């Protein structure tokens, strides 16, 4: 199964040939994720020289946008799909001027220390990466290794999917007679209480940022309801998506959320 998931991501990188759809069809969600990460890093006001790693960076689009936004920071991204890293390096070369501050490599989030070294990072990020690991045990083992990569007091920003938001979204869809959106075949979502229990040995000050809740409510409930009424298929590039990324956080209607936490000293 895990080889099948890796093949899937390699194939997506190949098929998307540098477009934003490499890591999800929902291109406005990707933009919202980047905007939310930029907002979070701006709030954190980290010092020059800050070292940030994106684990499971896909085609590197997120990391490259962060690198352009924060010229005083150093960035590394790794992904186990070589085709994704090829795409990331091609984009790095196309942008130009970031060499030396941004590096991409092939690596596995099950052993992130092999890619970043131990205790070297100020910030570790995963963005819809750990949901590709097949069991909760594998996910929490990976997080324990991610903690090893961080300096004491370092931050982990986890944009990952949780059942609670998915369930709330599906309940709202059901009220409009819309079918449930299932978890995809290659994904394994987190559960909040279990997640918090497993973070406690390594991290403190855990906070959830529901940056995509209003976006999911607008696109997966209201817009999907409109499409049903009109008898048309939803379009990920519809102007409702474009508008919905501008909505402030509201409620918990999104499977995707950002957990922010600090490595205990």
Ligand X SMILES: C[S@@+](CC[C@H](N)C(=O)[O-])C[C@H]1O[C@@H](n2cnc3c(N)ncnc32)[C@H](O)[C@@H]1O
Q: Which residues bind ligand X (CB under 6 A)?
A: 9, 23-24, 30, 56-58, 62, 79-81, 84, 108-110, 127-129, 132
CB of 79 to ligand X, least distance (A): 4
User: Given the complex with ligand X, which of 20 and 247 has the nearer CB atom?
Assistant: 20
CA distance linking residue 168 with residue 180, whole number of Å: 11
Question: What tokens were used for 25?
Answer: 């069809």
User: Given the complex with ligand X, which of 19 and 204 has the nearer CB atom?
Assistant: 19
CA distance linking residue 205 with residue 260, whole number of Å: 8
CB of 100 to ligand X, least distance (A): 22
Question: What tokens were used for 43?
Answer: 């709030």
CB of 265 to ligand X, least distance (A): 28
Q: Parallel, antiparallel, or unpaired: how do β-strands 203-209 and 121-127 relate?
A: unpaired
Query: What phi, psi does 203 have (nearest 5°)?
Result: -130, 155
User: Given the complex with ligand X, which of 109 and 123 has the nearer CB atom?
Assistant: 109
CB of 134 to ligand X, least distance (A): 10
CB of 85 to ligand X, least distance (A): 9
User: Given the complex with ligand X, which of 32 and 84 has the nearer CB atom?
Assistant: 84
User: Given the complex with ligand X, which of 116 and 172 has the nearer CB atom?
Assistant: 116
CB of 208 to ligand X, least distance (A): 18
CA distance linking residue 29 with residue 148, whole number of Å: 30
Residue of this chain nearest to ligand X (CB atom) = 58
User: Given the complex with ligand X, which of 120 and 264 has the nearer CB atom?
Assistant: 120
CB of 256 to ligand X, least distance (A): 10
User: Given the complex with ligand X, which of 8 and 262 has the nearer CB atom?
Assistant: 8
């Amino acid at each position: 199964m895990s080889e099948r998931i890796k093949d899937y991501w390699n194939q997506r990188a190949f098929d998307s040939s540098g477009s934003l759809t490499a890591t999800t069809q929902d291109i406005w969600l990707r933009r919202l994720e980047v905007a939310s990460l930029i907002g979070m890093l701006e709030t954190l006001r980290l010092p020059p020289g800050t070292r940030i790693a994106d684990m499971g960076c896909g085609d590197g689009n997120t990391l490259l946008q962060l690198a352009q936004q924060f010229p005083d920071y150093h960035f590394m991204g790794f992904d186990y799909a070589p085709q994704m890293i090829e795409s990331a390096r091609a984009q790095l070369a196309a942008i130009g001027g970031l060499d030396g501050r941004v590096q991409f490599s092939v690596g596995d989030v099950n052993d992130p220390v092999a890619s970043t070294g131990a205790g070297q990072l100020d910030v570790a990020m995963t963005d819809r990466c750990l949901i590709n690991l097949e069991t909760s045990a594998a996910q929490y083992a990976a997080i324990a290794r991610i903690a090893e990569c961080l300096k004491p007091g370092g931050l982990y920003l986890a944009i990952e999917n949780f059942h609670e938001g998915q369930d709330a979204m599906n309940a709202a869809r059901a009220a409009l007679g819309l079918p449930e959106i299932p978890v995809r075949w290659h994904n394994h979502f987190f559960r909040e209480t279990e997640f918090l229990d497993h973070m406690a040995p390594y991290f403190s000050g855990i906070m959830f940022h529901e940056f995509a809740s209003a976006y999911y409510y607008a696109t997966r409930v209201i817009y999907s309801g409109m499409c049903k009424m009109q008898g048309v298929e939803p379009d990920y590039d519809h102007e409702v998506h474009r508008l919905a990324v501008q909505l402030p956080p509201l409620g918990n209607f999104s499977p995707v959320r950002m957990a922010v936490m600090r490595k205990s000293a």
